[in-house]
Chain A
Amino acid sequence: MCGITGIFRFEGNTEDLRTRVTHMTAALAHRGPDAWGTYTSRDVALGHARLSIVDLSMGHQPMDTGEFVISYNGEVYNYIELRQELQQHGIVFATHSDTEVVIKAYQVWGKNAFERFNGQFAFILWDKNNRQLIAARDRYGVRPLFVMKWKGAWYFASEMKAFDSLPGFRREYDIQHLFEHGLLWNTIGSDTVYKGIRTVEPGTYEIYTGKADPSVHRFYSLGCLPQEPPASFDEAKEELRGMLRDAVRLRLRSDVPVGMYLSGGIDSSVLALLTSQVMGERFKSFSVTFGDPDFDESSYQNEMVSFIGSEHHAARIDYDTVSENFLDVVRHAERPLFRTAPVPLFLLSKLVRENDIKVVITGEASDEILFGYDSYKELKLLQFWARSPQSAIRPLLIKRLYPHLRHYSDTKAYGLMKLYYEDFLDTFSNPLAGLNIRIRNNTVLAAALNKELGVKFNQDDLIDKVKATFPADYEHWTLLQQNQFLEMTTLLDGYLLSSQGDRMALGHGIEGRFPFLDHRIVERTFSWPDSYKLNGFSQKHILRSAFRGLIPASIIDRPKLPYQAPDLRAFIRNGKPVPLVEQYLSPEMIREYGVFDERFTARFLRRFSERSSHQVGYRDNMTLVFLLSAQIALYWARNPRQTSLDERQRIVDITEKTAA
């Protein structure tokens, strides 16, 4: 995995361009600690920090084939097959890297090349003959790519901190976008929380020809691939096993050993089983264990470890580890967080690195594509209840929604839960589907923002903005399919794959690979009836059924735990904020940064001195992590860490003398 940077149409000289792109690349050295390089011509500069995984001796970047130069971050897993196909077209290859396959696929198939790629990628490609620059990103946004137009030039980078190295530039929040991020767990479309910085949207490529805005083209959206009619449930189970096995097989292609993350849940356990079957040899597995037994899943992890016989390593996390690493974690994430869960993932990638592994298989996205989230259950319940709103029986299902939460099964509190959900009966089927509840809960952040900034919550405006991102078929989908699209474009893209995924793994130079995000699986499962995935309230039903008897029943049948992490207990001790919180949420710093309301923050912190951490709910937890991380992210934007590169590791240094 790697870090990429680029500059286009810079009104300066080539040497200055080379210096700038080098500094930008230096800011991303953590993503590619093995080597780095730059390409510079009159109008374009590309930078690359490399983590060597495929074709270690060749495959250096930026890669220049004469007609094209690329700075590429990612893996196209089917590169072997594509290479063979291209060879049949008479294409000759100089390396065995997937990088060269990407360039030559573009050379032969042009923009139609992207839909042939099975994998995770972001790249910047300079087409010398046509004098155009292409910026592209994989279907689901596994790999990042940000763009900024600034002072007559376009700047590109895997992480926004690369922009901080530009003389005179400073990242500032766009408060409206920050608020939307708070409501949805992601900004909408190509927005980021920072002014003037965009993201290349997943599944799109952009063409830059000069100073004008780029043309944006979509090569993938959810549900776009035609599918055979759904198989019977039993056939679908068989199909799922086969597809997952093939997705794992492709993701084990690597010239360095591959390890895996084991959470103790069904998703990673299924992948561990398939990895051990495909690989046929012992591999290393990694997990997080919590000092506090309330959060610890090690018994399930150990069960799976002994079942597959992996060489297992665990990173143990306690409250201090969370608060001690939070500054670094937010520096990498570059945006506000909602949970502290990225911290364990950050420490896990460190442990993986220490054990000489660079690539890990991991179980993300199963909850999105197979309906594992509670939002799917909530919608199903509301849909059922709304057909007979007066029914006294239908809402009783609420008791089954969250049996682990005490106030949900308590008969008296049932009345209150019913009241709570009743409020969504009129709105759940609006285009925001399952996000309605998240938005409602997160609206508290409107009160947290500095009142002088004048940010207001307008649900209709938000709906319109989100609607603009919907694929053409959206309105023909079931409510649960719609919810899948929304979960994938908010939580998955804006948090799980980025703040908790790419940034935490690459913080220590580790590449994650996600078999559940093989687009063939996403598309096929999307076409199946909802009931295959959410049967009654049985979540990920088909996955459980398909692997019953193949992995331990205790893991298949374990009660699903809600997200739990020691957030509050890490930041509030005995009713008192820890020094990190004291510092970044102090009245002075709140005033200096001007993002949040002083009075709100003070009141909010006082709340914790009045009750124990067991008495505060999801929302307080989220609010605290959001406020703290938003302050810290801004601190890093204002005080970027100075980084440099070792000249001895520069393996590519191309300067095109003529006007390219």
Chain B
Amino acid sequence: MLTDKEVENKLIAFICHNFMVEPDEFNYEESLVDQGVIDSIGLVEISAFMEEEFGIKVAEKDMDRNNFGSVKKMVAFIVRQSAQGNLTNRESAA
């Protein structure tokens, strides 16, 4: 089981690599869309990354500001989903 910090580091590394920002260039407690870090396709990419990297399931009902509204909220969501066993097997997720 990954710690919050490990999840956060992985997520931030993904965001920096894919959206060409430095870790200190965006706020982890504000919306990535609001900050101009990602566009709508960026949300699709991040949710695919969550499923592939952490093996969790992202359902339509999960897609709201509570879960996706900031890096911190995404981390909490990933950790919560993992703990609740809302996992998908990696083969079917891929």
Q: Give A contacts to B, CB under 8 Å.
A: 407, 411-420, 422-423, 439-444, 446-448, 457, 600, 603-604, 607, 617-619
Chain B interface residue bracket vs A: 20 to 34
Report the minimum CB–CB distance from A142 to chain B (whole Å). 32
Q: How far is the CA of A603 from the CA of B22 in the complex (A)?
A: 11
Residue contact B33 to A440, C-beta cutoff 8 Å = yes
Residue contact A603 to B40, C-beta cutoff 8 Å = no
Quick one: closest B residue to A441, CB to CB?
B39
Chosen A-B contacts, 19 in total, with CB atoms closer than 8 Å, are A411-B60, A412-B60, A420-B33, A420-B40, A423-B31, A423-B33, A423-B34, A439-B36, A440-B33, A443-B35, A443-B37, A446-B36, A447-B20, A457-B36, A617-B39, A617-B41, A617-B42, A618-B41, A619-B42
Residue contact B20 to A604, C-beta cutoff 8 Å = yes
B83 within 8 A of A: no
Residue contact B25 to A407, C-beta cutoff 8 Å = no
Residue contact B44 to A416, C-beta cutoff 8 Å = yes
Residue contact A619 to B39, C-beta cutoff 8 Å = yes
Quick one: closest A residue to B25, CB to CB?
A447
Report the minimum CB–CB distance from B91 to chain A (whole Å). 18
Chain B residues with Cβ below 8 Å from A448 are 20
Residue contact A444 to B33, C-beta cutoff 8 Å = no
Chain B residues with Cβ below 8 Å from A416 are 40, 43-44, 47, 63, 68
From A417, A422, A440, A600, contact of B65 by CB (8 A): A422
Report the minimum CB–CB distance from A184 to chain B (whole Å). 13
Chain A residues with Cβ below 8 Å from B14 are none
Report the minimum CB–CB distance from A444 to chain B (whole Å). 6
From B19, B41, B63, contact of A407 by CB (8 A): B41
Residue contact B63 to A441, C-beta cutoff 8 Å = no
Residue contact B44 to A407, C-beta cutoff 8 Å = yes
**B49-79 with Cβ < 8 A to chain A:** 58-65, 68
Residue contact B39 to A618, C-beta cutoff 8 Å = yes
Residue contact B40 to A417, C-beta cutoff 8 Å = yes
Report the minimum CB–CB distance from B4 to chain A (whole Å). 22
Chain B residues with Cβ below 8 Å from A441 are 36, 39
Quick one: closest B residue to A445, CB to CB?
B36
Q: How far is the CA of A423 from the CA of B44 in the complex (A)?
A: 15
Report the minimum CB–CB distance from A585 to chain B (whole Å). 13
Q: How far is the CA of A366 from the CA of B61 in the complex (A)?
A: 40
**B15-29 with Cβ < 8 A to chain A:** 17-22, 25
Chain A residues with Cβ below 8 Å from B64 are 415, 418-419, 422
Residue contact A420 to B43, C-beta cutoff 8 Å = yes
Chain B residues with Cβ below 8 Å from A417 are 40, 43
Residue contact A440 to B20, C-beta cutoff 8 Å = no
From B33, B44, B61, B68, contact of A413 by CB (8 A): B44
From B18, B20, B35, contact of A600 by CB (8 A): B20
Residue contact A419 to B68, C-beta cutoff 8 Å = yes
Residue contact A607 to B36, C-beta cutoff 8 Å = no
Q: How far is the CA of A607 from the CA of B14 in the complex (A)?
A: 12
- Most chain B beta carbons < 10 A, residue from A419, A446, A617: A419
Quick one: closest A residue to B40, CB to CB?
A420
Report the minimum CB–CB distance from B7 to chain A (whole Å). 20
Chain B residues with Cβ below 8 Å from A418 are 63-64
From A419, A457, A607, A617, contact of B63 by CB (8 A): A419
Report the minimum CB–CB distance from A251 to chain B (whole Å). 39
- Most chain A beta carbons < 10 A, residue from B20, B33, B34, B61: B20
Q: How far is the CA of A418 from the CA of B44 in the complex (A)?
A: 12
Q: How far is the CA of A617 from the CA of B60 in the complex (A)?
A: 22
Report the minimum CB–CB distance from B88 to chain A (whole Å). 12
The 9 A-B residue pairs with the shortest CB-CB distance in the complex, in nearest-first order: A443-B36, A415-B63, A617-B41, A415-B60, A420-B40, A416-B43, A423-B33, A619-B39, A441-B39
Chain A residues with Cβ below 8 Å from B47 are 416
From A412, A419, A420, A444, contact of B19 by CB (8 A): A444
Chain A residues with Cβ below 8 Å from B40 are 407, 416-417, 420, 617
Quick one: closest A residue to B61, CB to CB?
A415
Q: How far is the CA of A422 from the CA of B39 in the complex (A)?
A: 13
Report the minimum CB–CB distance from A413 to chain B (whole Å). 6
Report the minimum CB–CB distance from A228 to chain B (whole Å). 42
Quick one: closest B residue to A444, CB to CB?
B36
Q: How far is the CA of A411 from the CA of B63 in the complex (A)?
A: 12
Report the minimum CB–CB distance from B41 to chain A (whole Å). 4
